[in-house]
């Protein structure tokens, strides 16, 4: 994994784990790899992983079971909320950028649906 060295590494690791959960690499109720393994896989310090995980535990996305490891929550409400938050975050960036170009809300919807159509056709070929 490539990190942006200007952004705290623990923050980027959180984003990485969110993504792994959303795309079901880390499934609800399953155990995520041990801290040291994650550290080796991502070539970062154990302390950095620990910090990312403890924030995820605070957010109740991960459940820490003493002596067993960290598990992805089975609470669908939290997982759906997570998905919503992340999608909203991405949309927010797009919305702000398009708004800066003085594109109206209706145009925005039009552009987006056109773009999706175009992408789908391209990907089929």
Partner 1 sequence: MSNLLEIKNLSYSRNLHSILENFNLEIPQGQIVGLLGANGAGKTTVMRLIAGSFLYRRGTISVQNSQTVAERKSKVSFTEQASHLEMNAPLSKIGDFYNEIYEDFNLTNFKQLLAELGLKIDQKLNQLSKGNYRKFVIAVTLARNVDLYLLDEPFDGIDSMSRKKIIASIISWKPDSATILVSDHHVADIANLLDSVVVIKNKKVIAKEAANTIREELGQDIETYYESYYGEENDD
Contacting positions for partner 1 (CB under 8 A)? 3, 5-10, 36, 39-40, 43-48, 51
Minimal distance in Å, beta carbon 109 to partner 1?
Answer: 35
Q: Which is nearer to partner 1, 40 or 112 (CB)?
A: 40
Minimal distance in Å, beta carbon 3 to partner 1?
Answer: 6
Q: What is the DSSP string of 53-118?
A: HHHHHHTTSEEEETTTEEEE---HHHHHHHHHHHHHHHHHHHHHHHHHTT--HHHHHHHHHHHHHH
Q: Which is nearer to partner 1, 10 or 18 (CB)?
A: 10
Cα separation, 55 vs 3, in Å, equals 19
Cα separation, 9 vs 3, in Å, equals 7
Minimal distance in Å, beta carbon 18 to partner 1?
Answer: 19
Q: Which is nearer to partner 1, 70 or 73 (CB)?
A: 70
Minimal distance in Å, beta carbon 62 to partner 1?
Answer: 19
Neighbours of 124 (CB within 10 A): 6
Q: Which is nearer to partner 1, 16 or 95 (CB)?
A: 16
């Amino acid at each position: 994994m490539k990190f942006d060295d200007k952004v705290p590494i623990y923050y980027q690791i959180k984003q990485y784990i969110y993504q792994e959960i959303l795309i079901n690499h880390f499934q609800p109720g399953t155990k995520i790899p041990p801290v040291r393994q994650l550290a080796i896989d991502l070539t970062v310090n154990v302390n950095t992983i620990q910090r990312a995980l403890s924030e995820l535990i605070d957010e109740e996305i991960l459940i820490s079971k003493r002596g067993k490891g960290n598990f992805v929550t089975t609470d669908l409400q939290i997982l759906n909320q997570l998905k919503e938050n992340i999608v909203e975050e991405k949309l927010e960036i797009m919305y702000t950028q398009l708004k800066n170009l003085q594109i109206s809300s209706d145009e925005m919807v039009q552009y987006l649906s056109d773009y999706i159509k175009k992408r789908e056709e391209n990907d089929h070929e």
